[in-house]
A and B are shown apart, each in its own frame.
Chain A
């Protein structure tokens, strides 16, 4: 691995760690004592320090070291975790990110820190109470060495259990068990000592005052590693059975270490245990010797090689480790084995290659449609069959290829927890963010492009939407505002809702502002919805003063544009005093859809199949009657409709009144409308080709596709058509007067 790619790995690792640290901090804000999260923060800092050290990023090591020290104090209860401290830790997390960025960007060999950053770091440490440079340099050295070496148990405060059973000859061999205990006492605190005088039955086995009958059970509190503790009894080893069991806290630590041992270092079970410090080398050697001895003594007895006793069993029997530990070690071992196989299943792929693949699949879809047309034309039975199965396979390939790009939206939504937290703190508001439907899958490129608009909308909700606690109290709402993000699939689209229970939009003020800016004139009559939508117009903000979060009047128009660029739409519901709900509807994917092919006049059109509700045959005459209204009565429901021939002017009007027409009912969000077409041509897979810049202003069309025949069909955009349908009265009349 070149240094560069190693660096890259370092950067992405840091990003992940900082993300998990952030999540943990957010959890800690709600449950300050959560040990899991405390560990997470500690681990993030510790690991960044370690890997940072490997690369010689001293400022990073320096900084994270002190945050780590603080976290250690917090974990051991020496420092209590207060809200301000958590806030500072957030800042530390951000500072670490900046440090890493700054250093990674700096040219090779230059690790100097600009003064501003150094100053910011010093201030943070001041706030942490970690400004004193502790015996840092030595620690850093250790850490650097530590990063590659197996990590030994960090300080714990719990109690080790040590049992010593001295052999009968211990005294005669010059042992004085007391001297070991005295030495042990110097390493920590002997919380409890149980002395057993183990002479069974004096009649059968008379007490020998020079024999040793002593056993000790010791509860021992110490920060020393198992290695150190075992070292105390090195000399006694011949004359004593020694069992040292780690405290439960260390036990958990070992288990955790065991489960996180990198696969390449997973060797034998024993080495694994020694590696994490759960077992001393000596204990392992002894168990291995016993294993070897047992198997060699068993061998002559039987011709069949008797199965060796498992090392784990021996270790537990020796009392060197707890059974759970062996289990975990075995699990890690197996996990590593499984993962080695899994690694071949999980591959990181360049997004460009994936994009290329999807393009090719698109071409394949087009080509197979062409084959379909040829087969139909040739009218060969058996060929049609083959084409059918090819079609099926192609659609499977298409679905699978698209699936490759699908990611759950939750990962990107959870970053808004931080946005909400920071923004609400800056404004002194109490806001809960509720995220539901995070498992909903969406094309990765769509997810990425949605981040900015979503951030903007959420900031708006925090800034304009939710009121301050005082105002909320005055209106009888709960002090905590809630922002709810919800995502779900709906007819081939993904719907993202952002709802807040805040002040809602003031239609009157929006109107006034819009008039002031000359966006509407005073005479215009607008519906409530139309008025609200004015906030998507460029340069409109109702907020009297711009804050640093939002309110400068740039943004909502950009939001709308971004969403529309993804062929999505955005809707707004708001009630003054009760909150605002913004609904974003996005297509699941950008490239290939199932379409429904229709023809109107001389042209063919594709309607996204997921939007088609039903097809109804209607009499041309019947619609003619209602021509001016452009509404049809469909089973008692008033349905606006558009005649495609009219909309695209693809055919001279009203030539043939006997013509039978079909009505395709499409649904978009909660809008429903009809499209009047001449013929229904059936389903097909459609590769969406964007239209060029020339057609940018063409409304109601999402793109174009190439049909099997080589013809081009326009892909209709139901949402834009719906907008047209709503104003179609005028539209129709104008057209009428022209023709």
Chain B
């Protein structure tokens, strides 16, 4: 399985793919922590996430909180239906700065 592979794309997004669940949490966490080093902009692309559970959500919250703590700008630039469903249930969309529909990408500023 292509679990939560983080790729650095050209515009320096952090892209997570596949499951974002308790099963991938540790791995993804390690990856994200590494990716956050010396970064002042964190554009997260979740458009390829197929499943997200509480642990995945928690990771997202951790990421945002950590970014804020170290002064990194956090943006969720794209997300999938699976992510949207969770965010909608918990009414977290505003908190994560999402105004767009799933899959529509926000233009980098």
By a beta-carbon cutoff of 8 Å, the part of chain A in contact with chain B is: 171, 175-178, 181-182, 185, 190, 192-193, 195, 197, 199, 202, 207, 209-210, 212-214, 216
- In this complex, the member of B22, B54, B59, B62 whose beta carbon has the largest number of chain A beta carbons within 10 angstroms is B54
Query: CB-nearest residue of chain B relative to A181?
Result: B89
| Contact string against A for B residues 81-109, beta-carbon threshold 8 Å, 1 for contact and 0 otherwise | 00000100111100100000000000000
Q: Are A210 and B54 closer than 8 Å at their CB atoms?
A: no
Q: Are A176 and B54 closer than 8 Å at their CB atoms?
A: yes
Q: Are B61 and A195 closer than 8 Å at their CB atoms?
A: yes
Q: Are B22 and A171 closer than 8 Å at their CB atoms?
A: yes
Q: Are B54 and A182 closer than 8 Å at their CB atoms?
A: no
Q: Are A209 and B65 closer than 8 Å at their CB atoms?
A: no
By a beta-carbon cutoff of 8 Å, the part of chain B in contact with chain A is: 22, 25-26, 28-29, 53-55, 57-59, 61-62, 65-66, 86, 89-92, 95
Q: Are A185 and B58 closer than 8 Å at their CB atoms?
A: no
21 pairs across A/B with beta carbons < 8 Å? A171-B25, A171-B54, A177-B54, A178-B86, A178-B89, A181-B89, A185-B89, A192-B91, A193-B89, A193-B91, A195-B90, A197-B58, A209-B26, A209-B28, A209-B29, A210-B22, A210-B26, A212-B54, A212-B55, A214-B54, A216-B90
Known: A182-B89, A197-B65, A209-B29. A176 touches B53 (CB 8 A): yes
Q: Are A209 and B91 closer than 8 Å at their CB atoms?
A: no
Q: Are B54 and A178 closer than 8 Å at their CB atoms?
A: yes
Question: Closest approach, in angstroms, between the C-beta of A573 and any C-beta of chain B?
Answer: 73
Question: Closest approach, in angstroms, between the C-beta of A159 and any C-beta of chain B?
Answer: 14
Partner of B62, one of A190, A192, A207: A207
Q: Are A210 and B55 closer than 8 Å at their CB atoms?
A: yes
With a cutoff of 8 Å between Cβ atoms, the chain A residues found around residue B86 in the complex are 178
Taken together as a complex, chains A and B put the C-alpha atoms of A662 and B25 apart, in Å, by 113
Known: A171-B54, A178-B53, A212-B58. A199 touches B25 (CB 8 A): no
Question: Closest approach, in angstroms, between the C-beta of A243 and any C-beta of chain B?
Answer: 18
With a cutoff of 8 Å between Cβ atoms, the chain A residues found around residue B92 in the complex are 193, 195
Q: Are B25 and A209 closer than 8 Å at their CB atoms?
A: yes
Q: Are A209 and B59 closer than 8 Å at their CB atoms?
A: yes
Question: Closest approach, in angstroms, between the C-beta of A190 and any C-beta of chain B?
Answer: 8
Please give 19 more A-B residue pairs, beta carbons under 8 A apart, in addition to A178-B90, A209-B25, A212-B54: A171-B54, A171-B55, A178-B54, A178-B86, A185-B89, A190-B89, A195-B92, A199-B62, A199-B65, A202-B66, A207-B29, A207-B62, A209-B62, A210-B22, A210-B26, A213-B58, A213-B62, A214-B57, A216-B90
Q: Are B55 and A197 closer than 8 Å at their CB atoms?
A: no
Query: CB-nearest residue of chain A relative to B65?
Result: A197
Closest 6 CB pairs of A and B: A209-B29, A197-B61, A209-B25, A177-B54, A193-B91, A178-B54
With a cutoff of 8 Å between Cβ atoms, the chain B residues found around residue A193 in the complex are 89-92
Query: CB-nearest residue of chain A relative to B62?
Result: A207
Taken together as a complex, chains A and B put the C-alpha atoms of A379 and B29 apart, in Å, by 114
With a cutoff of 8 Å between Cβ atoms, the chain B residues found around residue A175 in the complex are 54
Taken together as a complex, chains A and B put the C-alpha atoms of A260 and B53 apart, in Å, by 46
Taken together as a complex, chains A and B put the C-alpha atoms of A178 and B52 apart, in Å, by 10
Question: Closest approach, in angstroms, between the C-beta of B3 and any C-beta of chain A?
Answer: 13
- In this complex, the member of A177, A195, A197, A209 whose beta carbon has the largest number of chain B beta carbons within 10 angstroms is A209
With a cutoff of 8 Å between Cβ atoms, the chain A residues found around residue B62 in the complex are 197, 199, 207, 209, 213
Taken together as a complex, chains A and B put the C-alpha atoms of A127 and B65 apart, in Å, by 61
Taken together as a complex, chains A and B put the C-alpha atoms of A178 and B82 apart, in Å, by 13
Question: Closest approach, in angstroms, between the C-beta of B53 and any C-beta of chain A?
Answer: 5
Taken together as a complex, chains A and B put the C-alpha atoms of A176 and B91 apart, in Å, by 17
Query: CB-nearest residue of chain A relative to B53?
Result: A176
Taken together as a complex, chains A and B put the C-alpha atoms of A197 and B54 apart, in Å, by 11
Taken together as a complex, chains A and B put the C-alpha atoms of A216 and B65 apart, in Å, by 17
Question: Closest approach, in angstroms, between the C-beta of B16 and any C-beta of chain A?
Answer: 13
Known: A197-B62, A197-B65, A209-B62. A181 touches B90 (CB 8 A): yes
Taken together as a complex, chains A and B put the C-alpha atoms of A114 and B108 apart, in Å, by 81
Taken together as a complex, chains A and B put the C-alpha atoms of A176 and B58 apart, in Å, by 11
With a cutoff of 8 Å between Cβ atoms, the chain B residues found around residue A212 in the complex are 54-55, 58
With a cutoff of 8 Å between Cβ atoms, the chain A residues found around residue B25 in the complex are 171, 209-210
With a cutoff of 8 Å between Cβ atoms, the chain B residues found around residue A195 in the complex are 57, 61, 90, 92, 95
Taken together as a complex, chains A and B put the C-alpha atoms of A723 and B109 apart, in Å, by 107
With a cutoff of 8 Å between Cβ atoms, the chain B residues found around residue A178 in the complex are 53-54, 57, 86, 89-90
With a cutoff of 8 Å between Cβ atoms, the chain A residues found around residue B65 in the complex are 197, 199
Taken together as a complex, chains A and B put the C-alpha atoms of A210 and B23 apart, in Å, by 9
With a cutoff of 8 Å between Cβ atoms, the chain B residues found around residue A197 in the complex are 58, 61-62, 65
Question: Closest approach, in angstroms, between the C-beta of B81 and any C-beta of chain A?
Answer: 15
Taken together as a complex, chains A and B put the C-alpha atoms of A199 and B89 apart, in Å, by 22
